Structure 1
């Protein structure tokens, strides 16, 4: 039985940068080995409906045609992954917004804003520049995926 669009699929994954460094995984032991373990997170296979846009396109396309127990490695270019960085998602804000909130802004720090998560890319005297691009925007990523379970879509 192969994965088709509309099927609900449970799968494990390991996400790596091109240099092999692991940045995310559904396996607790691999997260631990690579120093990226998040204690509050529940590790295990993730479930998605293929074709529903719940995944980056490169991984979703790779799942189609796979069978339970099958493993595959897929190289995902930015266009099929997290996109290219967009200049309009880099926004200067008055430093006063941080000071009044009791936050000491530092380059590289992530902050939650009304518009979502952003990374501080510079701190000037009067301005803090925020980058709302996904941290993996513009990067080629490599995913190792393993299908654990396939629940076929209901026929209508």
Structure 2
């Protein structure tokens, strides 16, 4: 049975950047080899189950799953437009240094640190001086072409 919109699909996957760097996987052995398991020691690496068309994964992944069947493997190459988009200056926010220090209880983040917004998004501090702090809230994978090796485990 080929995957169609609305199907519940369980899959194993490994996501890579153009240079071959593994950024995510459902497989414990791949995570250990890529150093991901060390960075997220509490994460369980198990197959992912999604409803195709439910917006649970990026658009390019949903489109790439359509037509596949249980037991099949495929490599999906997803351009930024169907993944996390291009980086945008609109996602870089500027804060008055003194106001941010007050909001953070007297502490001040340094370049490379992260701020968490009220909506849960994270922004990397890309500039910090006496007057202004800039945080980049673009998704970390914005602008990247992503490659996923997928194995369809089950289709319901």
Report what 1:122 is aligned to.
127
More helix by percentage: 2
Q: Secondary structure at the match of 1:65?
A: coil
Residues 1:26 and 1:125: Cα distance change in structure 2 (over 3 Å) = same
Q: Runs in 1 of length 4+ with deviation above 4 angstroms?
A: none
2:115 to 111, 118, 137: 111
Match of 2:76 in 1: 74
RMSD (CA atoms): 1.4
Answer yes or no: is the 8 Å Cα contact 1:98–1:105 preserved in 2: no
Residue 46 (structure 1) aligned to one of 40, 45, 48:
48
- The CA deviation string for residues 91-150 of structure 1, in whole angstroms up to 9 with x for no partner, is 101223443324441222222121421111111222110111111111111111111111
Counterpart among 95, 98, 118 of residue 97 in structure 2 = 95
Mind listing any 5+ residue stretches in structure 2 that lack a counterpart?
Answer: none
Whole-angstrom distance in 1 between the partners of 2:140 and 2:89: 14
What SS is found at the alignment partner of 1:82? Answer: coil
1:53-64 → structure 2 map (5 Å cutoff): 53-64=55-66
Number of residue pairs the alignment of both structures matches:
151
Identify unmatched segments of 5+ residues in structure 1. 152-156
> Take 1:75 and 1:129, find their aligned partners in 2: how far apart are those partners?
32
How far 1:22 sits from its partner (Å)?
0.5
Instruction: Report SS of the residue matched to 2:123.
Output: strand
TM-score by length of 1: 0.90
In the other structure, the counterpart of 2:36 is 36
> Using the alignment, how far apart are the partners of 2:12 and 2:137 within structure 1?
28
Instruction: Find the counterpart in structure 2 of residue 84 from structure 1.
Output: 86
Deviation digits for residues 71-97 of structure 1 (CA, Å, limit 9, x no counterpart): 111111100111111211111012234
Q: Matched residues in 1 for 2:75 and 2:21: separation?
A: 15
